């Protein structure tokens, strides 16, 4: 690791109100379309094709683990369809001096308790988030484990974006869970 590189980890958690079932919360995390739209800076997104290395076996966990260098502890769902779903996401980043659109490549992997996302953004920013629904003291909580790797020069900006946005993203997810549970 270079002396200019930096790593940061943080955990953000929000209680999920009673009446919401764990399987419904996990299913909502597996709804990538909804999840992508929760980002307050979201401008657009599109699904990208599988790379040649996994194109012939998109449902192969071994092929995905090798090509995408998935964490050893990640246990993806084994079901039809690609193990890793890839998106190109455009976020509009407002700034008092200049605003810009940031294009990132995002890799989503569903697992039994939620999903794992790796985001590759410009300037060497790589962020991995492990989203899960966990039981704690007889209740459910939405947990976001965040790992950021980037240059020390931009770490403050990236950390600031995570800190500024997580509560709103969690609120949108939990609000939808509560709404859906009252309709059931």
Domains delineated in the chain: 5-183 (3.30.530.20)
Torsion-angle region of 168 (φ positive above 0: left; ψ -120 to 50: alpha; else: beta): alpha
Share of the chain above pLDDT 90, in %: 83
Q: What is the pLDDT of residue 10?
A: 98
Q: What is the DSSP letter of 50?
A: P
**In the predicted model, is pLDDT for residue 182 greater than 90?**
no
Nearest to 38 by CA among 122, 131, 121, 126: 131
pLDDT at 102: 94
3-state secondary structure of 184: coil
Helix (H) or strand (E) holding 171: helix 152-183
Side by side, the strands of the sheet bearing 114-121 are 5-16, 139-151, 125-136, 114-121, 100-111, 85-93, 42-48
Q: Is the pLDDT of residue 117 over 80?
A: yes
Structure tokens, 74 = 């990640």
The predicted pLDDT at position 50 comes to 94
Q: What percentage of the chain reaches a pLDDT higher than 70?
A: 98
Residue 1's pLDDT is 52
pLDDT, one tens digit per residue, over 6-33 is 999 999 999 999 999 999 999 999 999 9
pLDDT at residue 155 greater than cutoff 70: yes
Which tokens is 165 given? 């946005």
Tell me if 87 sits within 8 A of 115, measured CB to CB. no
Identify which has the larger pLDDT, 87 or 137: 87
In degrees and rounded to multiples of 5, residue 84 shows phi and psi of -110, 125
Instruction: Check residue 56 and give its pLDDT.
Output: 86
Average pLDDT over residues 90-117: 92
| pLDDT, averaged across the chain | 94
pLDDT value at residue 184: 63
């Amino acid at each position: 690791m270079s002396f200019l590189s930096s790593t940061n980890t943080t955990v953000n958690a929000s209680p999920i109100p009673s009446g919401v079932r764990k399987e419904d919360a996990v299913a909502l995390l597996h709804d990538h379309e909804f999840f992508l739209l929760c980002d307050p800076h979201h401008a657009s997104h599109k699904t990208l094709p599988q790379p040649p290395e996994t194109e012939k076996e998109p449902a192969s966990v071994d092929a995905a683990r090798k090509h995408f260098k998935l964490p050893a502890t990640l246990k993806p769902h084994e079901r039809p369809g690609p193990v890793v779903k890839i998106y190109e996401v455009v976020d509009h980043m407002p700034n008092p001096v200049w605003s810009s659109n940031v294009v990132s490549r995002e890799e989503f992997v569903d697992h039994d308790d939620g999903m794992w996302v790796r985001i590759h953004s410009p300037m060497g920013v790589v962020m991995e988030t492990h989203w899960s629904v966990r039981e704690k003291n007889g209740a459910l909580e939405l947990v976001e484990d965040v790992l950021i790797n980037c240059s020390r020069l931009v770490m403050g900006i990236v950390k600031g974006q995570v800190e500024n946005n997580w509560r709103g993203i969690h609120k949108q997810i939990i609000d939808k869970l509560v709404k859906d549970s009252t309709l059931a």
